[in-house]
């Protein structure tokens, strides 16, 4: 099969050493946190931080993650917004796998869910203000591991929640949901003269990126999403609402039934809108 031109172009850009990720500016705890992580660093600093993240993930048992998420979401309540649970339960399970004590993982996951909306470039000021309060709390809980674990958990939070939501709405596996409705739609790079280029990962069919900085959490994301999809497979989606289009596609709200049955909403055409159960 020949590669589509957009895939070839995006792959070339992701592999091009001259292109960099935009580095965070500004002050405050959230800006400092963003400056400390692999995701927003370049050059040697990126190599070292990425290495540390990959090393932290190596011992994680994906089968155990999958079973833990399945067990914790099996009794998820219906007729209420499921997104807070999808943003926090997989993160708490991952935090424990990375060595956070079980008694602290829910608090860590709650803070991560506050920090995640302020993590992408250009986040709204209200999200950054809330994250400025949450970052010192996360530092209190994670200590010297804040940059590495914080980066992994924050990276996991929204994208994994979006993938689980897509599995439920489309009633399909994580692999298929990534093909039909990937949660990370785009990323950005800077050319040497400072021009910002947006790379359309969704159109390129590269949901986890590629090239010089592919997602190191792919297998973990698939395991977390598979566990959640297994737990909630027969729970019909009653309502789903997406916010405005952006680099991430994660519902603002998702409501499932209490009991089992067929989906009421769903399908790939339900983009950016709300559909209520009839």
- Residues near ligand HEM, by CB under 6 A: 21, 38-39, 50, 53, 57, 151-152, 155-156, 159-160, 163, 183-184, 187, 201, 207-209, 213, 215-217, 220-221
Say how many CA atoms lie within 13 Å of 135 toward its Cβ.
Answer: 23
Closest to ligand HEM by CB, 57 vs 134, is 57
Closest to ligand HEM by CB, 223 vs 238, is 223
Contact 174, 78 (CB under 8 A): no
Least Cβ distance, residue 91 to ligand HEM (angstroms)? 9
State the Cα–Cα distance between residues 228 and 167, nearest whole angstrom: 9
State the Cα–Cα distance between residues 43 and 53, nearest whole angstrom: 16
Least Cβ distance, residue 258 to ligand HEM (angstroms)? 27
Structure tokens at 39: 């995701």
Structure tokens at 83: 């997104």
Closest to ligand HEM by CB, 77 vs 99, is 99
Max intra-chain CA distance, the chain: 56
State the Cα–Cα distance between residues 159 and 113, nearest whole angstrom: 12
Question: Residue with CB nearest ligand HEM?
Answer: 217
Q: How would DSSP label each residue in 99-122?
A: T--HHHHHHHHHHHHHHGGGSSTT
Contact 82, 76 (CB under 8 A): yes
Closest to ligand HEM by CB, 78 vs 205, is 205
Closest to ligand HEM by CB, 141 vs 159, is 159
Distance from the first to the final alpha carbon of the chain? 43
Please return the burial class of 100, using the count of CB atoms within 10 Å of its CB with bins 0-12, 13-18 and 19+.
buried
Least Cβ distance, residue 20 to ligand HEM (angstroms)? 11
Closest to ligand HEM by CB, 110 vs 217, is 217
Closest to ligand HEM by CB, 222 vs 238, is 222
Least Cβ distance, residue 277 to ligand HEM (angstroms)? 26
Dihedral in degrees, nearest 10, Cα atoms 112, 118, 121, 123: 160
Least Cβ distance, residue 79 to ligand HEM (angstroms)? 26
Least Cβ distance, residue 253 to ligand HEM (angstroms)? 19
Least Cβ distance, residue 101 to ligand HEM (angstroms)? 19
């Amino acid at each position: 099969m020949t590669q589509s031109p957009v895939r070839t172009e995006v792959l070339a850009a992701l592999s091009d050493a001259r292109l960099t990720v935009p580095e965070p500016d500004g002050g405050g705890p959230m800006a400092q946190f963003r400056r400390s992580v692999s995701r927003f660093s370049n050059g040697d600093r990126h190599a070292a931080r990425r290495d540390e993240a990959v090393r932290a993930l190596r011992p994680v048992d994906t089968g155990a993650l999958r079973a833990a998420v399945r067990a914790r979401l099996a009794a998820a309540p219906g007729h209420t917004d499921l997104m807070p649970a999808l943003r926090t339960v997989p993160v708490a399970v991952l935090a424990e796998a990375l060595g956070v004590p079980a008694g602290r993982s829910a608090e860590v996951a709650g803070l991560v869910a506050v920090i995640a909306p302020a993590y992408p470039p250009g986040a709204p000021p209200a999200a950054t203000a809330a994250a400025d309060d949450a970052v010192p709390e996360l530092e209190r809980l994670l200590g010297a591991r804040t940059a590495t674990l914080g980066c992994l958990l924050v990276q996991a939070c929204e994208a994994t929640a979006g993938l689980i939501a897509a599995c439920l709405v489309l009633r399909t596996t994580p692999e298929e949901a990534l093909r039909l409705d990937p949660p990370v739609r785009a990323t950005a790079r800077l050319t040497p003269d400072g021009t910002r280029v947006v790379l359309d990962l969704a159109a390129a069919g590269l949901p986890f990126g590629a090239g010089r900085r592919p997602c190191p959490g792919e297998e973990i994301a698939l395991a977390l999403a598979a566990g959640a999809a297994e737990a909630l497979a027969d729970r019909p989606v009653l309502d789903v609402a997406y916010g405005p289009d952006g680099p991430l596609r994660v519902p603002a709200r998702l409501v499932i039934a209490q009991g089992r049955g067929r989906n009421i909403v769903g399908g790939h055409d339900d983009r950016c809108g709300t559909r209520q159960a009839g």
